[in-house]
Amino acid sequence: MGNCFANSGVDNKIHKNITSTTYNQHNTTSSAGVEDERSTVGAKIAAVEKERGGERAVGKIVTPNLKMFTLDELKSATRNFRPDTVLGEGGFGRVFKGWIDEKTFKPAKVGVGIPVAVKKSNADSLQGLQEWQSEVKFLGKFSHPNLVKLLGYCWEENQFLLVYECMQKGSLESHLFRSPEPLSWEIRLKIAIGAAKGLAFLHTSEKSVIYRDFKSSNILLDGDFNAKLSDFGLAKLGPVNGRSHVTTRIMGTYGYAAPEYMATGHLYVKSDVYGFGVVLLEMLTGLIALDPNRPTHEMNLVEFTKSSLSDKKKLKKIMDQRLEKNYPLTSAFLIAQVILKCLESDPKNRPSMEQVLETLEKAQTIKVKTKVKKSRSSVHQKTKSPNEHNWSL
């Protein structure tokens, strides 16, 4: 089975201080007889965020109902966090694969029940605590087919953990840059559309949410290559009272973070759109956003390829060679134009994610033209004399 939860091997995260906030919650252990408890943290969040009445794109805001796992339960589910169960590692800590009963969420033997991804914090990590809070706050209340599902959490013995549904195919990043099997053009578009739906849902929810760390390693794939956004550790509520942006500490990932945010700390909803454009560019070219191993002028993917996106001939030269030209150039060029709009330096000039989604769905309808081999009879007809053709006129 593939990775349930994957993270980048090389993480170019930006960390310039973070504001400290904590929950007024102490170590809590769930009783053995309680199987479906409502989380204390979730209840606090629910008091602040009332459930939204309508739905958009099958997504909705729900009353948090997360399982409060004990540390012993998660140790049992992951075989005491054995090294061979590690799926990935990032700034927060490590992610382990575990098994739980589908109905009771109690620990289960390997191969029995359902697989889960357990994210375990580094000890005494302030960053980890804050990202843990953010994950519970946002994933605990959102329900959407293109957002990874948070099943529960644990805060015990100075450690904080999160338990997610397992994503069998791992991350988009691993498929684009490390897998020997290239993703087909159709699968790439399917993934892009799914990720766009998830981001559009966040941006248009009752209180818009800025994802802030959109990148290929945070797009996870299930067994059918359906895309789901993961890792909400840096997510922020969008601007209110008519404001265009929120001002915050600069955090994110080099190569994906929008230039206005990097320069000023001003975070717009459309700062996410810039990151989406970078990921689309990765999907077209098969190259990662920032690679110090490439020649200096090619190190930054956006700077290196941007001038080629407005010309079809130049675009063909930067397309992922592993696609072996098995893609409709008209569709690729349409997406290239969307990328250029997403990468506009002024966030006001970038499209909304709903507009991006609409264009991607249009690009999906453009199919590869199949080359029809000419039969001998058709070749023979071409060689007939003019008189032979005239009789049927």
**Residues across the chain:** 393
Q: Which of 373, 374, 392 is nearest to 382 (CA)?
A: 374
Catalytic residue among 36, 72, 124, 213: 213
Beta-strand runs (E) in the chain: 13-15, 60-61, 67-68, 86-89, 93-100, 114-121, 142-143, 150-156, 159-165, 209-210, 219-221, 227-229, 236-237, 246-247, 251-253, 266-267
Contact between residue 310 and residue 329 where contact means Cβ atoms under 8 Å apart: no
* Type of residue found at 325: K
Alpha helices (H) in 62-204, listed in sequence order: 71-77, 126-139, 172-177, 185-203
User: From CA 356, how far away is CA 252, in angstroms rounded?
Assistant: 22
Q: Residue 95: what are its φ and ψ, rounded to 5°?
A: -115, 125
Q: How far apart are CA 217 and CA 238, in angstroms?
A: 23
213 is catalytic: yes
**Catalytic residue annotation:** 213
